[in-house]
Structure 1
Amino acid sequence: MGQAFPERRVPVLIVEDEPILRIDAVDMVEQAGFDAVEATNVEHAIRILEERKDIRVVYMDLDMPRGVKGIEIAAAIRNRWPPIEIILTAAFFTAADLDLPVRAEFFPKPIRKPDMIAAMRRMAMRH
């Protein structure tokens, strides 16, 4: 009999500075069948993107500390790594407040997990 190999799970980079929210996002991503890759801040996320060429979806909180503008970081990711799909979330913004990068989707907090998972699956299928 042939040996069965598990299907490779698509990695999703989670950029979330709040530990509880990051743990919740990791659980959601893994339960949806993806491989969660964690970044605690923007600098960490950029290092991961530079090192890992397999990341194709980034899930990022726009509410970043120390004056970091999450939407500008999302635009920089789009410019530097065009194939990457971007999911943005925030508690203090609405979609109308944002000039979203191409192929980015926004979800207000608290997120609706079925909608978020559907977006991740849709984005992963593009690759």
Structure 2
Amino acid sequence: MLKPEPALDRDPGLQPERTGLAWSRTAFVMLLLSALLLRGGFAHHEPMLAWAGVALLVTTGATYAWAGVRLRVITLSSAPVTVSATWAMRVTALTVALVGVGLAASVLYHGELLARLGALMH
């Protein structure tokens, strides 16, 4: 019978700071994308793009807030991964995926981008 390995002590190094910075960088990129979606939605009168931008902007705010919470939790906790961190990653990934699907649906529905790409190929 195999014995479970003893739990390793958590490295008190820079891991909490790197994790917090990773969440902050993710939120910053999401902020840039939401600004582009909002601008595109309003400039081209595309409500689907505007709503995708709003959804991503709300998620961006939650991600920025989560970055601070996650830094405090990982600093004080002995467990590097928590259930809430797993759910935060899932919700962030799901929102980004849904915004991507909305963007793809908008492009395919109107077809202007595909027509321009097709014209460039010929």
Same fold (TM over 0.5): no
1 or 2, which has the higher strand percentage?
A: 1
When the two structures are superposed, what TM-score results if normalisation uses the length of structure 1?
0.25
1 or 2, which has the higher helix percentage?
A: 2
When the two structures are superposed, what TM-score results if normalisation uses the length of structure 2?
0.26
